[in-house]
Amino acid sequence: MRVAYNEQMAELANLLGEMAGLAGSAMERATQSLLQADLALSEQVITEYDRISELSGVAEERAFALLALQAPVAGDLRSVVSGIQIVADVDRMGALALHVAKIARRRHPNHVLPEEVNGYFAEMGRIAVALGAAAQEVLVTRDPERAARLRDEDEAMDDLHRHLFSVLMDREWKHGVAAAVDITLLGRFYERFADHAVEVGRRVIFLVTGKLPSDSDDEYGIASAPR
């Protein structure tokens, strides 16, 4: 029974890692579609979200089957419950990439972004993809120290998001309300994508240590990266 449980948990972890990898790839393509007004890439992201959604359903079924058939307790129960919560976070990451692609498709053949904010979104996209890859890594390795560093890496995304608002509020803004609304929404999508990746890291820490990290990682014996 124990061997079967361990095998099933390993399969669930690999499935979650695959989902995170797909979400990161989706955001990479969505960003390219946004910057290049590439309709084909937008359509690809929209179509491939079905795969993330499908895997999300499979992962949930496997996690609930473990609860029902294995009746886990203590650390095993923590692992299964964390897995169920991580499914929701990773699925949401895929959905946020989908939202970016849909905005790019809706504005095609026009570009969504004025030239002065292209650099912001190119960098936000790079950070989002890196965080998606890191989330995939920690799901597979269950390394709590690597998971803790996701929060520090998210700070660059938060900084860009704040700076983006200063551009939108500048009295020299000349691109109208519709563009400002699109940019506000897009900035939020990237920020939330990163937040969900960080949440995956937090749940991996909880899974491994039994404690959910707060603003102070030292309390859990996990060293933060320098700020």
pTM for this model (two decimals): 0.89
Q: Name the nearest CA neighbour of 49 among 15, 25, 14.
A: 25
- For residue 2, pLDDT over 80 is answered with no
Q: What are the residue ranges spanned by the domains of the chain?
A: 2-220
- Reduced 3-state DSSP string for the chain: CHHHHHHHHHHHHHHHHHHHHHHHHHHHHHHHHHHHCCHHHHHHHHHHHHHHHHHHHHHHHHHHHHHHHHCCCHHHHHHHHHHHHHHHHHHHHHHHHHHHHHHHHHHCCCCCCCHHHHHHHHHHHHHHHHHHHHHHHHHHHCCHHHHHHHHHHHHHHHHHHHHHHHHHCCCCCCCHHHHHHHHHHHHHHHHHHHHHHHHHHHHHHHHHHCCCCCCCHHHHCCCCCCC
Q: Model confidence at 108, in pLDDT bands (50, 70, 90)?
A: very high
What's the rounded mean pLDDT across residues 212-216? 66
CA 202 to chain centre: 13
Query: Which segment of 121-125, 152-156, 213-217 scores lowest on mean pLDDT?
Result: 213-217
Q: Model confidence at 85, in pLDDT bands (50, 70, 90)?
A: very high
Span 2-220 CATH architecture: Up-down Bundle (1.20)
- Residue 19, judged by CB atoms within 10 A of its CB (0-12, 13-18, 19+), counts as buried
Find out whether 200 and 20 touch, Cβ atoms under 8 Å.
yes
**pLDDT digit string (tens) for 111-121?**
999 999 999 99
What's the rounded mean pLDDT across residues 140-155? 94
What's the chain's average pLDDT?
89
Structure-token match 């030239």, residue found: 115
Q: In this structure, what token pair is assigned to residue 125?
A: 């996209």
What's the rounded mean pLDDT across residues 158-178? 91
- For residue 160, pLDDT over 80 is answered with yes
